[in-house]
Structure 1
Amino acid sequence: CVSGHLHEGRPEGLSTRIAGLDAYEAWPADKSKAKTLLYLTDIFGYHLPNARL
């Protein structure tokens, strides 16, 4: 059995699709596009708030 706990906070990105796959996009406060981070989630996926904080 896999268990965890939820962190407090509010996700500020949006759910989208990239190349036909569900994805979550978020940007830094200054909206800079100078760098990209690809984050691969655990068994819970990105739908839980923890992965989007």
Structure 2
Amino acid sequence: MREIGVHVPERLVEQLDDFQDSRGYVSRSEAGRTILREHLRAEGFWPPEEDDA
């Protein structure tokens, strides 16, 4: 898993709290990944939707 440093707004952190595993990783949850992916896409850190393979 690759880690990147990106600012995540407080409102997003509150949403993601529901999807963390016991170690604090959101990435294991599909719903959490979707929230993060949409935020990162909006910030320009994720490719456009057609590249989600």
TM interval, shorter chain, is under 0.3
Greater helix share, structure number:
2
Q: Which has the larger radius of gyration?
A: 1
Give TM-score, length-normalised by structure 2.
Answer: 0.22
Give TM-score, length-normalised by structure 1.
Answer: 0.22
Q: Tell me which of the two structures has the higher relative contact order, counting C-alpha pairs closer than 8 angstroms and 6 or more residues apart.
A: 1
